[in-house]
Amino acid sequence: MDSRPVGVFDSGVGGLTVLHECLVTMPHEDFVYLGDHARLPYGPRPLGEIRRFAREIATYLAAQDVKLVLVACNAATSAALPQLQEELALPVVGVITPEAHAAVQATRNRKIGLLATQATVEAGRYAELVHALDAGAQLVPVACPRLVPLIESDDPFSAETTEAVREYAGTLKEAEVDTVILGCTHYPLIRPIFQRVFGRGVTLVFSAEETAREVAETLARKGIENGEGREGAYRFLTTGEPSLFRELGERFLQLPLGEIEQVAVADLEAVA
């Protein structure tokens, strides 16, 4: 048994959808989650800058004695995962590989769509992974800059959100994809809208469920899982204002947040 916590980070609250699945899949594990609110959003930033932020946070979490780092952010995974896996002396799991694998397994016509932020699309990691798994598969990526602000608004299920999803889905429908990767951790919050727009004929792949399974399998494979006869704890850190983190966080986690600690960006930079 290994009672150390699992470290999870994201640019903000979107990664809480992944944490929720982890808490359900591994109720006996402890987790510490860091949201980099002071520097969000990551999506429009250059990949090099995102890579630096991810390295700072992952190094900080490693110094907190976590046993695994989960990069619960598609943009950070796209920009930094290989580098983090090389530099850190502990397992690092991202949200892209599990999704790519699930999408290749699910598709029947080998036409896969991707909805994600600009940074994730530009990084091209999904295309690399999909083609590594099936060289004949076609990936159609679409950047969705309007979705994250709409999902974080007071009314994420507004007509404007549905209109935006329809707009972005249009390209994928024209390409006749039968599987769509929802490549942003915010997107599970409006899952019903995606299901309505695409219909039952299209398989939707979400990062949260696939990634939680990958984390559980990694802990078991490494022999560092916690004992099952206990209920795990979780705590939260943010580089931004704790009250703002709480305001959105409970909507994404769908569980009480408890105490939220503030971490200065300078502390992250100093550790890295």
Q: Which residues are catalytic?
A: 73, 184
Compute the distance between CA of residue 96 and CA of residue 25 in angstroms, rounded to an integer: 18
**82 preceded by a cis bond (ω within 30 of 0):** no
Which residue type is seen at 124? G
Compute the distance between CA of residue 211 and CA of residue 74 in angstroms, rounded to an integer: 11
Q: Which helix (H) or strand (E) is 151 found in, with range?
A: helix 147-151
Look up tokens 């580089």; give the residue: 239
- Least Cα distance to 97 among 61, 144, 128, 129 occurs for 129
Beta bridge partners of 115: 142, 182
Q: How many CB atoms lie within 10 A of CB 148?
A: 22
Compute the distance between CA of residue 113 and CA of residue 108 in angstroms, rounded to an integer: 13
The answer for 258, left when phi > 0, alpha when psi is -120 to 50, beta otherwise, is left
List, in order, residues 6 or more apart from 139 with CB less than 8 Å away: 112, 113, 114, 126, 127, 130, 131
DSSP calls for 24-88: HH-TTS-EEEEE-GGG---TTS-HHHHHHHHHHHHHHHHHTT-SEEEE--HHHHHHHHHHHHHH-
Look up tokens 């109720």; give the residue: 27
